[in-house]
Homo-oligomer: A and B are copies of this chain.
């Protein structure tokens, strides 16, 4: 069978949600089909690149017509594992943690943050956007019993590594790291780092260059 899944490139994976979002908007207007040139024009990408990205998910289109939007959405959902909502635990009920808990869009992307964990006694026992804030030391037991596979790290840099260690011991399989620190975890753990400083570096270096040129 054609079960040989060619491992997708990271840039391709990162583009899929944009296609998904655009096609969902199209679907709401009643549209049934969409072509790669159409998506590419909208997102300022190369049509061939869009086609390759979609091919990766197993999608097939019709020449002259394009892809059925419904199939395309289902294809991306399936490929990214968004079909069944995935439960996640969040560690660090601070500002950023609260923001992620309150982000309404995650449900559309199969992510369900079921509880937050914190060390602060003042926060423990409260709720955050309807989900409980629990003591950090209850994370291992609950993660195992609830089969939670995703851990979100929104604690300060100083606590990030120890929280990650705790998650690994708890059977967490994937860590989404929002702290400004690099985390050391076993190779078997999936690690995705949202680095605000990396993004800021691109912004400020370009701005510095632009201001220099115009002065």
Residue of A96, A192, A198, A201 most packed against chain B (CB within 10 A): A201
A16 to B111, CA, bound (A): 31
Q: Is A17 positioned at the interface, with any CB of B under 8 Å from its CB?
A: yes
Q: Which residues of B contact A149 (CB under 8 A)?
A: 207, 211
Q: Is A198 a contact of B110 with CB atoms below 8 Å?
A: no
Given contacts A103-B96, A180-B105, A195-B14, contact A190 B210 (CB under 8 A): yes
Q: Is A110 a contact of B204 with CB atoms below 8 Å?
A: yes
Q: Which residues of B contact A110 (CB under 8 A)?
A: 204
Q: Is B96 a contact of A204 with CB atoms below 8 Å?
A: no
Q: Is A10 positioned at the interface, with any CB of B under 8 Å from its CB?
A: yes
A204 to chain B, nearest CB (A): 4
User: Which residues of A pack against B, CB within 8 Å?
Assistant: 5, 8, 10, 13-18, 21, 43, 79-82, 86, 94-96, 98-99, 102-103, 105-106, 109-111, 149-150, 157, 173-174, 176, 180-182, 188, 190, 192, 194-211
